[in-house]
Amino acid sequence: MKDDISAARPEWECQLSSLLPLFGHRNWIVVADSAYPAQSKPGIDTIVSGEDQIHVVQKVLAAIAACKHIRANVYTDRELGFVEETAAPGITEYRRQLEALLAGSTAKLLPHEDIIARLDQSAQVFRILIIKTEMTIPYTSVFFELD
């Protein structure tokens, strides 16, 4: 029987909480936009949060910070800076919120293809958790490489 706290949490948060003690160096957590593709490689688990991107990033940051055995290298797509408000309404506000949220981290901007290549290479041996959100703006995924 679940306790009242876990019963109140969304399923994706429960899954994240159960995986974090297992995860360590070279595991990844990706907070992805809704268009992020489902990958077929074994070891990559994809779950749908049904929630706002910024909210999920905030929850993932807090969950990682609460773990004593890991920290995260954070990556965002360099292409995010080139998306214009006219093409993707809401991008300016999203960038502002994400910048504020990641202010305490050493987030690195990398080309999308470079991040995907790193993720793919790690997935050869290590587990990856992808949490899809309701975000519909391109290049908004946030990648956490655990260390």
> Residue 60: which CATH number?
3.40.1650.10
In a domain, 141, yes or no: yes
19 in any annotated domain: no
Query: Is 18 contained in some domain?
Result: no
> What mean pLDDT is reported for the chain?
92
Structural domain tally of the chain?
A: 1
Instruction: Tell whether the model's pLDDT for residue 2 goes beyond 70.
Output: no
The owner of tokens 């929630």 is 51
Which pLDDT tens digit goes with each residue over 72-111? 999 999 999 999 999 999 999 999 999 999 998 889 999 9
**pTM, entire model:** 0.91
Which pLDDT score is estimated for 8?
79
Q: Within a domain: residue 91?
A: yes
In this prediction, residue 100 carries a pLDDT of 95
Residue 52, domain extent = 25-146
1, pLDDT greater than 50 = no
